[in-house]
Structure 1
Amino acid sequence: MKTQTIEWIATGKRHRQQRWMLITGSLALLAVLLCCAMLLLGHTIYPVSDVIRVLRGEQISGASFAIHTIRLPRMLSGLFAGFAFGIAGNTFQTMLRNPLANPNVIGITSGSSAAAVFCIIILQASNTVVSIASVIGGLLTVLLLYIFSRSNRSSFSIGRLILVGIGMQAMLNAVISYLLLVGAEQDIPSALRWLSGSLNGIRVEDVTPLVIAVLICAPIVVIFGKHLSILELGEQTATTLGVNTEQTRIALILSSVFMIAIATAVTGPIAFVAFLAGPIAKRMVGVGFSNALPAGLVGVNIVLSADLIGQFAFEVRYPVGIITGMIGAPYLIYLLIRMNQKGDL
């Protein structure tokens, strides 16, 4: 009987591992295909051979400018920003054991956005300064959230963090609205375009900090991601099982916020990607293995797909944030209704 139980557990684990590998591989393949589509499609559809030649450094009239200056930065920013939003959103949702606890809802993205808009409209600063201010704004928002979420010196309340975060988001959005009102008329269009979440006009040099941030922080999130499922069991249980909850939480939060802040500075706050990626990945992959990497790949596929839809599906071209907002808003309403029925609200 004992041997049969062990074999049954081992078989179940093997099946879950195979499912994880299959889903993750499929998501990665879809991301590669979407990246290729981003390079091939546009006003002019170039053949694959021309794209490869341009990427190798050859100069082809018309194609070199379109691919190097417009399509490649657009593709890279969508790829790395989508991964950053997806993996960071899943981290917050899993760590705080609540699907509403994502950077968009609890004010972290708004903190980065408020700092960036201040630099764009008031200081008229460079992209480098905007990126630095975005990171600082996100980190300060997290610090305030953590301080106000502690009911006393040692206790940390997830419910209080979400409520404080929603209030802080409303306050920061009011700050952004005020900055738009007092800003110079010529600066408003660029700020509004940035706030909608867009891949338009991004240059290769703008993407470099985002690539570096994801390459450094994403492995940290993946490594510590194996503890996320244990943190879901609660603080006391995780401590009993030998997890240093404070160290794990700090590493995950700092890495996630840094990626979100840099991604927000480059592309603007692309709506609902951090909110959607984790639940979709969890439903596809199932339980038993970390879904940090699948969530990042889901984020990539959402951003790239939404950008292609926004470019080619309508008579007017829409920023990627408009399309993701159209997808995410109904899901948020559905989630709130379902949580209310379960008594989780």
Structure 2
Amino acid sequence: MSVDNNLPVASRELPPVEFGRRHVFWENRRIAWRIPVRSLVVSAVLLVVIIAGGLYSMTIGAYGISFGAVMDAIVNPAADPDIRQVVFEWRLPRVLFAVLCGAALALSGGIFQSLTRNPLGSPDIIGFGIGAQFGVTLLMLVFNLNTYAFKAVGALVGGLLTALLVYFLANKHVMSSFRLIIVGIGVSAGLGSLTSWILITVSVEKAMMAATWGAGSLASLGFDQLIPAAIVFVLVVCVALPLNRTLPVLEMGDDAATALGIHPARTRFSAMVIGVALVALVTAAAGPISFIALAAPQIAQRLIRSNTPMGTLPVMLTGAALVVVSDGAAQLLEVPVGVVTVSVGGLYLAWLLARQYSRRA
């Protein structure tokens, strides 16, 4: 192929760029997308796992329903009304809440891990989840405000105040991810002590109520809580979409991000607010569900072979699949879902720490 050197650069026919992996391209006059085929395949597989796990979890409960009866209740309006009531009013909201909570926690974890450039930089470790839990505990036990709206306010305010405290304590001229994690662990320990102090100063009934909520459970959640939570989640995700482009650039360093037109401090602060809002959304509805924010971004990053944990759709689907499967296991074991995620997440954290240490050694 010959190229006329007298033509402007924009009008020459340039060879296609080879990205090393297969991609799906889509573009119009304003928007251009380049999506790796592997990400699409992984997302499709995760979606199948979510649907299969959700359908199976709807067969579990005191009122046993077969898998075929669940499918018939979903697709057939003339099915047994009692079964349809159990499926649609009791068990479907729980499955949808599991999807929402998993997606929100995973996206929050991806934001913080990209922000700190550290696989340990999740809201569970840094302490933002403990801050949201402390805010809800304070409103529930001290001020006797136990409605969903007040829980949401307490979780958001508690998480944001914790984030601001950690941010300003760790921000010494240049933000260090190691310093952010260490300061977050210290603040988390302090807030955990305050939460324990509140629990031992109230009545036994209030303490048991707070302990049950603090275990993290999706039981007794219906569409009354799901609809407002879903609306807030969609709004926060829309606000978080630009971070999918800016945070990977920020991972290269503040100087490189500034040279590419990104304001590091502003981007970092807005990312922290969005991440805390996602954690607060889950904490207000279901209580603290630990380790999903830590594990999901790393699992998704390995599945799609990405260089950054900030991959919005695969990360959210990974988190949703983890919570749906964990909630199904929790129903079989008759324990809150938070107990299952803590048990599995603790093993994952030990493996991750051992892997990090072996790399440095």
TM-score, normalised with respect to structure 1: 0.89
Q: Which moved more, 1:75-84 or 1:63-72?
A: 63-72
Q: Specify the alignment match of 1:107 in structure 2.
A: 127
Contact 1:222/1:293, CA 8 A, preserved across alignment: no
Deviations 1:256-284 (CA, angstroms, capped at 9, x unpaired): 21111011110111110000000000000
Contact 1:86/1:273, CA 8 A, preserved across alignment: yes
Aligned residue pairs total 333
Q: Specify the alignment match of 2:183 in structure 1.
A: 164
Q: Specify the alignment match of 2:136 in structure 1.
A: 116
1:276 and 2:295 equivalent?
yes
Partner AA of 2:232 in structure 1: A
Secondary structure of 1:47's aligned partner = helix
Q: Specify the alignment match of 2:280 in structure 1.
A: 261
Shift of 1:40: 4.1
Q: 1:205 aligned to 224, 231, 255, which one? A: 224
1:147 and 2:168 equivalent?
yes
1:91 and 2:121 equivalent?
no
Larger Rg computed on CA atoms: 2
Q: Which moved more, 1:199-208 or 1:243-252?
A: 243-252
Secondary structure of 2:218's aligned partner = coil
Q: Specify the alignment match of 1:327 in structure 2.
A: 344
Contact 2:108/2:279, CA 8 A, preserved across alignment: yes
Q: Specify the alignment match of 1:230 in structure 2.
A: 249
Map 1:58-77 onto structure 2 (within 5 A): 60-77=80-97
Contact 2:70/2:87, CA 8 A, preserved across alignment: no
Q: Which moved more, 1:281-290 or 1:323-332?
A: 281-290
Q: Specify the alignment match of 1:35 in structure 2.
A: 54
Q: Specify the alignment match of 2:6 in structure 1.
A: none
1:49 and 2:66 equivalent?
no
1:308 and 2:328 equivalent?
yes
Deviations 1:58-113 (CA, angstroms, capped at 9, x unpaired): 79543244234321221121111111001110110012100111000111000000
Deviations 1:229-269 (CA, angstroms, capped at 9, x unpaired): 21111111121222232333233222221111011110111
State how far apart, in whole Å, the 2-side matches of 1:191 and 1:24 are. Answer: 36
Partner AA of 1:51 in structure 2: I
Deviations 1:24-74 (CA, angstroms, capped at 9, x unpaired): 222123222223333344332133122345xx6x79543244234321221
Q: Which moved more, 1:266-275 or 1:60-69?
A: 60-69
Contact 2:217/2:286, CA 8 A, preserved across alignment: yes
Stretches of 4+ aligned residues off by more than 4 angstroms? 58-61
Partner AA of 2:214 in structure 1: L
Contact 1:40/1:48, CA 8 A, preserved across alignment: no
Q: Specify the alignment match of 2:335 in structure 1.
A: 318
Stretches of structure 1 that go unaligned for 5 or more consecutive residues are 1-5
Q: 1:292 aligned to 312, 323, 328, which one? A: 312
Partner AA of 2:71 in structure 1: V
State how far apart, in whole Å, the 2-side matches of 1:10 and 1:340 are. Answer: 32
